[in-house]
Chains A and B, each alone.
Chain A
């Protein structure tokens, strides 16, 4: 089973809503990532959890709040988003501690629209 599952696939929310994106993997990977991808652009790293601890936060606004309840799950809590936050949000995982040769396994993403 080499799959990263993300839910929901599509999400439309208003600027005052609170919603959560979910990501799950059962490959025994110990690093999990959130990426944001705007149309026709490469992915931008937001957060990395390594062994369930937040290791990297790429200066992401506080309206995005990550959570890693256990080694298989990763959530992204959204609150008071702006229309410019509309994008494809991708979750990824990799095997172990952060190294520069990590091969990433991606989910198919949540397409988020903020109205």
Chain B
């Protein structure tokens, strides 16, 4: 069973629209971390956010916001007033007990976001 599910393979919106990227995860651990990374066409993965399992406070960073809900095992990412530069593949990832994952990040399949001018 997939441990990190990003059900949206590709999303296309017009610039200035708001867009939400979904991430649903599965773990039996009580201590875990969730991440979002951005991969623009240049190829470099860029860290966006890290959230631990004990901190359900939502976070806002400029036009970016994240909604962590343990009750639904979701860690969704919203871009407000999207811009063409936001076009990229976005990955959600889970880090859980090393006994389960050997320090590996468990990656979602990624969501390709296309922002049209």
A: residues with CB less than 8 A from B are 40-43, 45, 48, 55-56, 58, 88, 90, 92, 98-109, 111
Contacts and interface: CB of A to CB of B under 8 A. Distances in A.
Interface of B: 31-33, 35, 37, 42-47, 50, 52, 91, 93, 95-98, 101-105, 107-110
Contacts of B108: 42
Contact of A101 (B33, B91, B110): B33
Contacts of A48: 103
A22 B21 CA distance: 34
Contacts of A109: 43-44
A19 to B, nearest CB: 19
Given A42-B110, A43-B107, A45-B104, A101 B52 contact: yes
Contacts of A42: 91, 93, 107-110
Given A41-B109, A42-B110, A45-B105, A106 B46 contact: yes
